[in-house]
Chain A
């Protein structure tokens, strides 16, 4: 069975600080996909990134960066120079590569508050 753990329930940082959100996953598959979603106060989940298990290259998108390490089963998310608009709940999710059964397993989320 697959599992995603986000041990940080809530994080608060002052604006412009960097912050890292941790994600640890468990799966028995060798091929799988990892995702990060943002849930602002409005409630709708916003897709941020998708990464397959064969691509361990770190990715940067503006102030966002992701560190994928298969050796530690982690897919951490860093926001650089945080802004108030980054305040949201962030979810990490895992999907095993099983055609016809592409379900997402979500972590419990990390609530990030950026203090102005």
Chain B
């Protein structure tokens, strides 16, 4: 089945540790995105990538890093510089419009990160 997988589902981190959240897609989508969701809030964009080996900061990139070495993979590292990392993290992917209109994004099941 085609889709987006995220792992782990739950992640616990001690203060001062870096952790990496996995996101893999087999939809052959060019674009991938990372969002953060806090209780009672909408999703906020952390990073996005439209092509391998290239990515751009979103609205709340500080304290996070990403890589895009393969089309199907877009891991997110939450660094110790992120002051309040406890949140629900969602990965998404989409095809690029190529001028035909912005396309819908498809989401993975999410990773819930808790800092102890």
Instruction: Verify A104–B110 contact, CB threshold 8 A.
Output: no
Stretch of A70-78, A80-88, A91-99 at the chain-chain interface: A91-99
Q: Is the CB of A99 within 8 A of B45?
A: no
Closest residue to A47 on the B side, CB-wise? B104
A-B contact count (CB 8 A): 64
State whether A108 touches B99 (Cβ < 8 A): no
Among A43, A47, A106, A108, contact of B88 (Cβ-Cβ < 8 Å) = A43
Which interface class (under 10, 10 to 19, 20 to 34, 35 or more) fits B?
Answer: 20 to 34
CB of B112, distance to nearest CB on chain A (Å): 8
> If the complex has contacts A43-B109, A91-B43, A108-B42, are A103 and B104 also in contact, measured as CB distance less than 8 A?
no
Confirm or deny: A67 has a beta carbon within 8 angstroms of a beta carbon on chain B: no
Q: Is A9 an interface residue (CB 8 A)?
A: yes
Measured between beta carbons, the chain B residues less than 8 angstroms from A64 are none
